[in-house]
A and B are shown apart, each in its own frame.
Chain A
Amino acid sequence: MAQLTYRDAVAAGIAQEMRRDPNIVLLGEDVARAGGVFKATVGLLEEFGPKRVKDTPISEQAIVGAAMGAAMTGLRPIVDLMFSDFFAVTWDIVANQIAKTRYMTDGQVTLPLVIRSANGAGSRFGAQHSQSVENWAMTVPGLKIVAPSNPADVKGMLAAAIRDDDPVLFFEQKSLYAAKGEVPDGEHVVPLGKANVVREGKDVTIIALALMVPRALKAAEILKEQHGIDATVVDVRSLVPLDTQTILREVAKTGRLVTVEENPRLCGWGAEIASIVAEELFWDLDGPIVRITTPHVPLAAANNLEDAQLPSPERIVAGVAQLVD
């Protein structure tokens, strides 16, 4: 086991796969010589050379379109989109083209590509560089969606995403880039579509994603110490495909469900999980389902305003305590 940062795990995952398969290529703005604006691709140009690691102009449509065309003709491209907010600039290519082409062509076209981006808040970048946009993608059939919470999952799920024959949107939470964690040595692959039970408790099941996972774990400690409430925490990790078996099993054990979402309120992924649990597990529930989210507003830049918007351990504690007490 090595200690890696979340940021270094990105480069480690890409490098592991690029060593294995010469058809894997990486492109994006500042991704090669600069090593990425978040320094998540440092060393890749040096190891794999300018033919495989390519800087691009600020042309998100051209970048993602090139990845699609390359994927349909034999390469396995990885796009670095920099900020996930930039999906809005290239949404035609993602939502109309990449997501639908396999279906429309009756399976003739296969699109093994990954679009990485820095997602989420906590860095005081304001409303256009801090969004959690996984829900945009979740509304479009044909896109797989992954959002890891720790360095081991970054490396392992990125490897799985690169190996996957379908388009995968890989959301890295930008305020986790400096977080450290144990990453297994040697080849490391974490299958997509498997939720991870990161803490087991008997009173309530908290389901969280990305930055909300460490916050939910912190909340669980406080709940145990101050309220005597024992919480299960599930890191959902992969929104599409969604591991409903693990979710339903873990909610059934405690009879209580709380989702913690960084995205704005309306149609957040937690709403889909709440809907599934309500339909399929209603008679096992001991109380209403609680969703803790960022309010349905754009994100502010100031420290105290942004902090107040995102679900904090304290807000999670309050939401859970209200349900359980």
Chain B
Amino acid sequence: MAPGVAARNPQLSISTETRLKLYRTMLECRVLEKRAYDLFMQNLIKGTSHLALGQEAIAAGFGTAMRPDDYTFCTYRGHNHTLVRGVGMTEILGELMGNSSGLMRGKGGSMHLTSVKHHMMGSYAIIGAHMTIANGAAWSAQYRGTEQVAVCFFGDGTTNIGAFHEALNFAVIWKLPVVFVCENNLYMEYTSIHDVTAVEHPAADRASAYGLEPVLIDGNDVDVVYRTAQRALEIARKGGGPSLIEAETYRHGGHSRADPGKYRPDEEVKAWLAKDPLPRYRARLLELGINVADIEKIEAETNAAIDRATEAARNAPPPPLEIANTDVWADGGSAWRN
């Protein structure tokens, strides 16, 4: 295993302004997911929901490093990836609650958050598919010569489905500007990834099969993620082709609303909670001499923002009934006959 990118570039400095942005972004993800959990418990969110509590550093690190017109493709565990592209908390909570304040007015739901105007090209709920679709956006950027990059996030479980392998081969042979990011949270749904995978590192150990550099990083260290993202984005933007990054992390909760995550050993959960990216980064900011007042200001603002968003989303009316059968076709309708 080659050492992680960041380990080789420790001299890369990150400005205080960027560090505070990284902290704020992680915190926004954290409070959003916690609020989503609370609203679920109040039965204000129906269906299912896949929270990324504990995985904030990956979304924040990439979201901060990406150019505004770079494309995001993510999975059903994608509230954080949507938020970091600039989508409002109200629009996300509203979509989870299925009302008219939602990003798609309740037509998609928690697993399909999409905001094309933010170049957030979708959350995909069938494992693997979006890796092939991200290739298409990257191909389009390459064809149009825009130097945009497509960034595609997926879980460790995705590395065992066919589309993962098809997409990697395809991206390499066409030298596409795409960055594949495996968020390895150690579990594919309810099962340890190690029990069902032929190699130790589900993404990084497969990289060499496609002629790619194996990149394995601490996905709970937002500085490491940010630097790794910068490098991969730069390579892709300059025509150097795709990257495959495996970021090790841990979800604090279960797979979905229905899962309390009891299959995980207590010691393991405890060890990973000690590596929680948020308190870890807060401590680093203080060590670096950043004023605690600046940090507390961010915390107060973020807490106020989530309360405002919750109120706005809770008070929004249900979606208008007439949209139930619209927008199947580009003309806005759903007619299949004359």
Contact = CB atoms under 8 A, between A and B. Distances in A.
A101 interface: yes
Contacts of B332: 107
B244 interface: no
Contacts, number: 164
- Give the 10 A-B CB pairs with smallest separation, nearest first: A69-B136, A65-B132, A165-B330, A107-B327, A62-B166, A66-B136, A59-B166, A106-B104, A73-B140, A62-B170
Interface string A65-81: 11111111111010000
B137 A69 contact: yes
B337 A65 contact: no
B239 interface: no
Contact of B170 (A51, A57, A112): A57
A56 B329 CA distance: 29
B116 A102 contact: no
19 contacts: A25-B143, A61-B132, A66-B133, A66-B139, A69-B139, A70-B136, A73-B136, A73-B140, A92-B126, A93-B133, A96-B129, A103-B107, A105-B114, A106-B107, A106-B108, A107-B327, A108-B104, A112-B330, A244-B338
Interface string B322-335: 01001111111011
Contacts of A102: 327-330
B338 A103 contact: no
Interface residues of B, number: 55
A270 to B, nearest CB: 15
B256 interface: no
Interface of B: 71, 73, 103-105, 107-109, 112, 114-117, 121-122, 124, 126, 128-141, 143-144, 150, 162-163, 166-167, 169-170, 173-174, 323, 326-332, 334-338
A32 to B, nearest CB: 13
B328 A66 contact: no
A65 B139 CA distance: 11
A184 B245 CA distance: 54
A114 interface: no
Contact of A56 (B115, B133, B170, B328): B170
Contacts of A245: 338
Interface stretch (A199-207, A226-234, A235-243, A293-301): A235-243
A193 interface: yes
Given A65-B135, A104-B108, A142-B328, A59 B169 contact: yes
A306 B182 CA distance: 48
